[in-house]
Amino acid sequence: MAETYLSDHHLSARYNVHRSTPWRWTNTDPTFPKPVKLSPQCSRWKLSEIEAWETRRAASAKYPPHRSDRGGLARLRFGHLHSELSTARCFR
C-alpha cells in the first residue's frame, strides 16, 4: 500500500493549531517526526510516523499531550479528516 503523506495544512487541521506550529514542533520537539522532502518545494510528514508519535506521546508521562491534541484525534477517530487525506500533492 502506498504511503500517505500529510502537509502542514493537514497537520494544523488535525491538531487545531496554526499552520506554522508543526514546523515549530519539528524544530523544538525531538520526538516529533521530521518531514520528508518530496521535491525542492514540497515537504510532507508520513502519516504512519505521525500516528506512531501520537501513540508514543499518549503513553508517555514525560510529554503531556499538546493543548489541542484532543480535537485533532477526535476528528481522525470519527473519520472527518480521513476523507481529506490523499497521497502527496505538491502544488503552489
Task: Identify the structural domains of the chain with CATH numbers, from first to last.
Answer: 5-84 (1.10.1660)
Q: Is the pLDDT of residue 90 over 90?
A: no
Per-residue model confidence (pLDDT) at position 72: 54
Per-residue model confidence (pLDDT) at position 61: 64
Question: Tens of pLDDT along 28-87?
Answer: 999 999 999 999 999 999 999 999 999 988 887 665 555 555 555 544 444 444 444 444
Q: Is the pLDDT of residue 17 over 80?
A: yes
b/e sequence 28-44, b meaning 16+ C-beta within 10 Å: eeeebbebeeeeeebbb
Per-residue model confidence (pLDDT) at position 4: 94
What is the value of pTM for the model shown? 0.67
